[in-house]
Amino acid sequence: MRIILLGPPGSGKGTQAQLLVQRYDIVQLSTGEMLRAAVAAGTPVGLKAKEIMASGGLVPDDVVVGIISDRIDQPDARNGFILDGFPRTVPQAEALDDLLKHKHLKLDAVIELRVNESALLNRVETRVAQMRERGEEVRVDDTPEVLSKRLASYRSQTEPLIHYYSERRKLSTIDGMMAIDEVTRAIHRQLLALGAVEPKTHARSAAKAAPAKTGAKKTKAAKTAKKAAKSTKKAARKATKQAVKGAKKPAKRAAKKVVKKTVKKAVKKGAKKTAKKVTKKRAKR
């Protein structure tokens, strides 16, 4: 799966991205981290980015796209990826489309986490007030003022992507104001509808965690009843031997017939009783 998560700052993109990484065995690609890794590795694109950053300039789109191109060629991105922080603008989205087309890859989904901006600002204000009351240090970039600026930047630069991907029928909108697990389930349902397949390892873990089926319980009950019937039969045979021991041959035969019938009845009765007991115990559980 190749996914883009859209949403303003504080919409929960980072949290959902991590959950998707674990569930679908894909990688999260952050443009910031990719730039730093490319610079550290000394790749041609990384060296170009290093030169631009050293002069205080913004890394142009073609350099960022080149770094993404190198990154998605790596083996760990074979199952898919989530792009974090890219694209931010329509020109970047167009460049990404060209890159994927050139690599014969397709973008599977663009998930928009829609949130109430006023509620986000209230959350930050409350959190900052509580931190100050406790005497904790408040991060410079974690204040209502900074969030307001970032939200304004998102509206002007990134929000047009919603229309861009909607026109291409790639966009799915999820209510980001729901609880985290509800948002996760909504995204999962959407991805399944688009043909997402969970890795076998995850499916096996889910199967192990699932409760045993009723059929399995019935089989276990039947086995227990059969075992009980077997032990009853064994005990009855022993009793038969003792009952006919010392009797004359004709009497022995007659006694055996009588006891045989009695044993059959006893075994059936005992098996039924045991089965009933097992069923009752299962029902109580």
| 150 within 8 A of 91, measured Cβ to Cβ | no
Return the minimum-mean-pLDDT range out of 43-52, 129-138, 178-187, 224-233: 224-233
Return the minimum-mean-pLDDT range out of 19-33, 96-110, 115-129, 224-238: 224-238
Average pLDDT, the chain: 79
Catalytic residue among 139, 169, 245, 248: 139
pLDDT over 80 at 259, yes or no: no
The pLDDT value given to residue 37: 87
- H or E, element range at 165: helix 160-167
What angle, rounded to 10 degrees, do the helices at 249-284 and 214-244 form?
A: 160
The pLDDT value given to residue 26: 93
Return the minimum-mean-pLDDT range out of 16-25, 82-91, 270-279: 270-279
Cis peptide before 87 (omega within 30 of 0): yes
Q: Average pLDDT of 93-117?
A: 94
DSSP state of 59: P
Count CB neighbours of 42 within 10 A. 9
Q: Average pLDDT of 99-109?
A: 94
Catalytic residue among 36, 114, 150, 273: 150
Question: Beta strand 109-114 with 81-84: parallel, antiparallel or unpaired?
Answer: unpaired
pLDDT tens-digit map of 205-220: 555 555 544 444 444 5
Q: How far apart are CA 236 and CA 267, in angstroms?
A: 8
CA-nearest of 73, 74, 100 to 86 is: 100
pLDDT tens-digit map of 107-126: 999 999 999 989 888 888 88
Say whether 13 is catalytic. yes
The pLDDT value given to residue 93: 95
pLDDT over 60 at 254, yes or no: no
DSSP state of 139: P
Question: Beta strand 2-6 with 27-30: parallel, antiparallel or unpaired?
Answer: unpaired
Q: How far apart are CA 24 and CA 228, in angstroms?
A: 47
The pLDDT value given to residue 137: 84
pLDDT tens-digit map of 165-177: 999 999 999 999 9
CA-nearest of 66, 65, 35 to 51 is: 35
Say whether 139 is catalytic. yes
pLDDT tens-digit map of 71-83: 999 999 998 999 9
Return the minimum-mean-pLDDT range out of 38-42, 202-206, 231-235: 202-206
Q: How far apart are CA 271 and CA 151, in angstroms?
A: 72
Of 25-34, 85-94, 118-127, 220-229, highest mean pLDDT? 85-94
Q: Average pLDDT of 242-246?
A: 54
Radius of gyration of the chain (CA): 34
Strand intervals (E) in the chain: 2-6, 27-30, 81-84, 109-114, 171-175
Q: In what order do the strands lie in the sheet with 27-30?
A: 27-30, 81-84, 2-6, 109-114, 171-175
CA-nearest of 27, 31, 34 to 81 is: 27
Q: Average pLDDT of 128-148?
A: 84
Catalytic residue among 36, 114, 127, 282: 127
Q: How far apart are CA 195 and CA 160, in angstroms?
A: 26
Q: Average pLDDT of 197-201?
A: 64
Considering the entire predicted model, what is its pTM? Answer: 0.63
Sign of the alpha-carbon dihedral angle for 80, 83, 86, 90:
positive
Q: Average pLDDT of 224-231?
A: 59
DSSP three-state, residue 134: coil
Q: How far apart are CA 265 and CA 50, in angstroms?
A: 90
Tokens standing for 238? 């022993």
